[in-house]
Structure 1
């Protein structure tokens, strides 16, 4: 299917997503039950999926570690984009993958996910916290690698000048929000993990494949905001 590459302000007759509209939709669409890799598998395959019973009967896994990411919406006149990063190939967690800026909570964050997301964003791509206006949050996302991620949505007025940390970030780039919100661009894939064919969301923008937790969070954003930007 052909990708929609344009930065579109939205279809005729469809209300444009303003900051106020996004803030209201985030507040109305928040689900405290969260979502995640295992939840997607259960929803699609049920509790009887091959290998799942053995997993549930095994030793208990440690509680997921708290983390936060910023979902940065860049407010261009011709339409919003989402700022994303590509992680460097040598990192211990999710090497080479496309992700939002963010990371695990530290003691200095005092349990505040907004502080953590903004701190990590400044550390990874050099974007100061005062350049970001926070609009709300999405559902927590529990990853198969043992993290519970709180996605914090913020808006940025261009120009956006970033300085990537070369240890963590290989590239910083933007993708049109309309493309990411369009359900036609959300594809389900499967991979074998611990003997199970586990499902995951993916979106292909130009030569880049956005998948895993990042794509799952973008699907959440699409469900909350709809397909207009």
Structure 2
């Protein structure tokens, strides 16, 4: 018998389960959705720059709001890849995939949300909750709002989007509890937070203004879990690998900021690289 082999196998095994236990602790719902993290988000609220709503202002720039739904998914409902035994309830974020028939953002992965409607909403918080109810059927009574984050401008600078972070209370959540708006939402996608923090799933994309590279933004490639009814809740992507969803654009920016607040740098330490401007040399 090769005792040296058994010795190293035991050491590797102990190290593996020790690392798994540490990861499970970091990503456990008790840790991620703790009262302390809720306070951290509340401290990040941009109280001084909340917008007032009047006709003159709304004529200049459109207001919109999205909800970042933090939730707990029962591992018994899904066959989670790359999650080691023992399984724990999955700390996840709910995303939606827009239908292909929409004029804007068709087929994109995004958070529930939409445009502020002056005849329906008293505030942007109302917008986020109303749109979430309309798009995925989540009742506002189930959403414990944690924070209103700083608004982000759209790429064309015509819309200002305010993210709200909320925890979906009432225990585990699954697809059967949702009612999707068929004209706007094609899929609801629960993505484990641990997968969003995996460095192998994060890249960056470069944007140009006037033909010059000026800034870079994060982009996430993750393969959502397969549920026990053998329905894949993912989409085909031509980037990196097939059958992975691509989270990019404004949704990725908001996600990056949420993860930075939610987790310590030792768990989510991704930093957006600074890409220097590329000057074209013509006189050679």
The structure with the largest strand share of the pair is: 1
Shift, 1:75, TM fit: 2.6
Q: Contact 2:202/2:218 (CA < 8 Å) preserved in 1?
A: yes
TM-score (norm. length: structure 2): 0.60
Shift, 1:28, TM fit: 2.3
Q: Which residue of 249, 255, 261 corresponds with 1:212?
A: 249
CA change 1:223–1:184 in 2 (3 A) is farther
Shift, 1:183, TM fit: 6.1
Shift, 1:215, TM fit: 0.5
Q: Contact 2:132/2:138 (CA < 8 Å) preserved in 1?
A: yes
Shift, 1:20, TM fit: 1.3
In the alignment, is residue 28 of structure 1 matched against residue 38 of structure 2?
no
User: Which runs of 5 or more residues in structure 2 are unaligned?
Assistant: 1-22, 50-58, 74-87, 224-243, 269-284
d(CA) in 2 for partners of 1:9 and 1:132?
Answer: 25
TM-score (norm. length: structure 1): 0.73
Shift, 1:95, TM fit: 1.3
User: Which runs of 5 or more residues in structure 1 are unaligned?
Assistant: 1-7, 35-61
Matched with 1:58 is none
In the alignment, is residue 124 of structure 1 matched against residue 135 of structure 2?
yes
Q: Contact 2:72/2:173 (CA < 8 Å) preserved in 1?
A: no
Shift, 1:24, TM fit: 0.8
d(CA) in 1 for partners of 2:253 and 2:25?
Answer: 23
CA change 1:133–1:32 in 2 (3 A) is closer
The count of corresponding residues between Structure 1 and Structure 2 is 193
d(CA) in 1 for partners of 2:26 and 2:141?
Answer: 32
d(CA) in 1 for partners of 2:32 and 2:208?
Answer: 38
Rg bigger for which structure? 2
**Secondary structure of 1:107's match?**
coil
Q: Greater relative contact order: 1 or 2 (C-alpha under 8 angstroms, separation 6 or more)?
A: 1
Q: Which residue of 81, 99, 103 corresponds with 1:92?
A: 103
Shift, 1:32, TM fit: 6.9
In the alignment, is residue 67 of structure 1 matched against residue 64 of structure 2?
yes
Q: Which residue of 172, 190, 198 corresponds with 1:158?
A: 172
CA change 1:104–1:194 in 2 (3 A) is farther
Matched with 1:46 is none
d(CA) in 1 for partners of 2:216 and 2:262?
Answer: 23
CA change 1:216–1:224 in 2 (3 A) is same
In the alignment, is residue 148 of structure 1 matched against residue 129 of structure 2?
no
d(CA) in 1 for partners of 2:196 and 2:165?
Answer: 15
Shift, 1:129, TM fit: 1.2
Q: Which residue of 164, 183, 186 corresponds with 2:202?
A: 186
Taking only aligned residues, the RMSD between alpha carbons, in angstroms, comes to: 2.8
Q: Contact 2:45/2:147 (CA < 8 Å) preserved in 1?
A: no
d(CA) in 2 for partners of 1:154 and 1:190?
Answer: 30
